[in-house]
Amino acid sequence: MYRILIAALLMLVWPAAAETYVIEMRTHAPDGRRFVFQPDLLRIEPGDTVHFVAADKGHNVASVDGMIPDGARPWKGRLSQDLEVTFDVPGIYGFRCIPHYAMGMVGLIVVGDAPANLQQARTKPHAGRARVNFARLFERLEAGD
């Protein structure tokens, strides 16, 4: 009887194990698109980690100024190098490949529920294909993708 009670209490107070997700940086996607992150939209929980994999050379990943929540730390990976980022602050995080940003190599990570910085991230201006691809990503987000 006591063992069951102790196990139940531990389940209530023991923190859930954080997950690690993979996003690949690619020059060519299997569907024919060029300069992409796969996936380019990811939902995770606070404390989870994303491992950005340089699947193809010539790419990096960096947070987009004005598209991360208050209190979150920006990041910038090196060209052709993997990078791991742990997301502790709930919100929306915009990210990009610096060399291919204008070509639309961008993505979004949503950490937790009801991101407080949604409007701020959505209204951040972008150039070139980045503007089109971020608009598409926010449409997918609204549709529940």
pLDDT tens per residue across span 46-73? 999 999 999 999 999 999 999 999 999 9
Give the pLDDT score at 12: 47
Q: Could you count the other beta carbons within 10 Å of the beta carbon of residue 116? A: 13
Higher pLDDT, 13 or 118: 118
Query: What are the E-state strand segments in 45-116?
Result: 48-53, 62-63, 83-87, 91-96, 106-111
Reported pTM: 0.88
Strand order in the sheet with 83-87: 34-38, 20-28, 48-53, 83-87
Expressed in angstroms, the distance from the first to the final Cα of the chain is 44
Q: How far apart are CA 15 and CA 57, in angstroms?
A: 37
Over residues 6-38, the pLDDT tens digits come to 444 444 444 568 899 999 999 998 888 899 999
71: closest CA among 59, 96, 88? 88
Q: How far apart are CA 72 and CA 99, in angstroms?
A: 23
Question: Residues near 116 by Cβ (< 8 Å), separated by ≥ 6?
Answer: 69, 70, 90, 91
Answer yes or no: are the C-beta atoms of 28 and 34 closer than 8 Å: yes
Answer yes or no: are the C-beta atoms of 58 and 80 closer than 8 Å: yes
The full set of domains in the chain, from first to last, is 18-142 (2.60.40.420)
Residue 2 pLDDT > 80 = no
The residue type at 121: A
Mean pLDDT over 79-108 rounds to: 97
Phi, psi of 118 (to 5 degrees): -60, -50
